[in-house]
């Protein structure tokens, strides 16, 4: 199955890869271009990584595309990002159908502009029976906001008597997050060299293997991804236990 990737052990690939796609602005700045050109080029990198993950039979790919904090960027940049997202959904539907990829969004979808939300809902509906890979887009996503939302939902259930506070477990917490039903990321990648989480999947990355690369997101391609996967395969995941 992995004949195209002889360096990789097919039995030890991450089931869930999460990526903080950072550096579009710096990519553009280096070329004296508008930041928006960087976001456009970043979309090409998204296409590439989705294809590679699908080829490798990775089950879940979660991409941090827009954070709750990113709303504070200039209006023109936010509008350009929303427009790009809509165009991406339009242009990728055929490929998602051909490759059996299901699209899902995590985050405050209700804050997205109406046309983008409609496109998103249409894409999620069209791809809902696709099973080979889940492409999870984090849109208006913030880990803290997600946790607040979970606390509110569980508190309401406790108040109604649906949940006994003493029997709340971490799996009940997980079931009230946007990622309910998905396993936690095995591998978290951040491009552009910043060594921080920036409010991404705070609960879910508890035991993810983290790789930070200096490569700017628009330059991130298959070869580097495969190198990171090789690095991942060399790590020993202990989950707090001692070596087996």
What is the contact surface with Mg ion in residues (CB under 5 A)? 22
Q: According to the binding rule CB under 6 A, does residue 146 interact with ligand IPE?
A: no
Instruction: With contacts defined by CB under 6 A, name the span among 51-59, 61-69, 107-115, 170-178 that binds ligand IPE.
Output: 61-69
Q: How far apart are CA 165 and CA 207, in angstroms?
A: 26
| Diameter over CA atoms, the chain | 59
One of 26, 51, 99, 149 touching ligand IPE (CB under 6 A): 26
Give the position of tokens 């920036």. Answer: 198
Q: Is 177 in the site for ligand IPE (CB under 6 A)?
A: no
The residue from 9, 12, 22, 184 that is catalytic is: 22
24 labelled catalytic: no
Active site (annotated) includes residue 164:
no
Answer yes or no whether residue 143 interacts with ligand IPE by CB under 6 A. no
- Where do the DSSP E strands lie in 51-163? 60-67, 101-106, 133-141
**Residue 9 or 194 having the CB closest to Mg ion:** 194
Do the beta carbons of residue 162 and residue 88 sit within 8 Å? no
CB of 110 to ligand IPE, least distance (A): 18
Task: Quickly list DSSP for 9-56.
Answer: -GGG--SEEEEE---HHHHHHHTT--HHHHHHHHHHHHHHHHHHHHHT
Site of interaction with ligand IPE (CB under 6 A): 20-26, 64-67, 69-70, 81, 192, 194, 196, 198, 217
């Amino acid at each position: 199955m992995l004949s195209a990737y002889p360096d990789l052990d097919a039995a030890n690939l991450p089931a869930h890869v999460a990526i903080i796609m950072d550096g579009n602005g710096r990519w553009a700045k280096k070329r004296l271009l508008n930041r928006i050109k960087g976001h456009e080029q970043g979309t090409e990198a998204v296409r590439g990584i989705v294809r590679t993950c699908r080829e490798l039979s990775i089950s879940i790919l979660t991409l941090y595309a827009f954070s709750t904090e990113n709303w504070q960027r200039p209006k023109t940049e936010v509008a350009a990002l929303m427009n790009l997202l809509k165009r991406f959904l339009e242009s990728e539907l055929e490929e998602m159908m051909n490759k059996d990829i299901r699209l899902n969004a995590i985050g405050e979808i209700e804050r997205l502009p109406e046309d983008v939300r409609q496109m998103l809902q249409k894409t999620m509906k069209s791809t809902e029976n696709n099973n080979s890979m889940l492409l999870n887009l984090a849109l208006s996503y913030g880990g803290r906001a997600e946790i607040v939302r979970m606390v509110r939902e569980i508190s309401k259930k406790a108040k109604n008597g649906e949940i006994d506070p003493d029997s709340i477990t971490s799996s009940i917490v997980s079931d009230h997050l946007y990622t309910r039903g998905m396993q936690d990321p095995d591998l978290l990648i951040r491009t552009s060299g910043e060594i921080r989480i920036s409010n991404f999947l705070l609960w879910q990355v508890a035991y993810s293997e983290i790789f930070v690369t200096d490569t700017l997101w628009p330059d991130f391609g298959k070869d580097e991804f495969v190198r990171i996967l090789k690095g991942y395969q060399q790590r020993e995941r202990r989950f707090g236990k001692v070596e087996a």
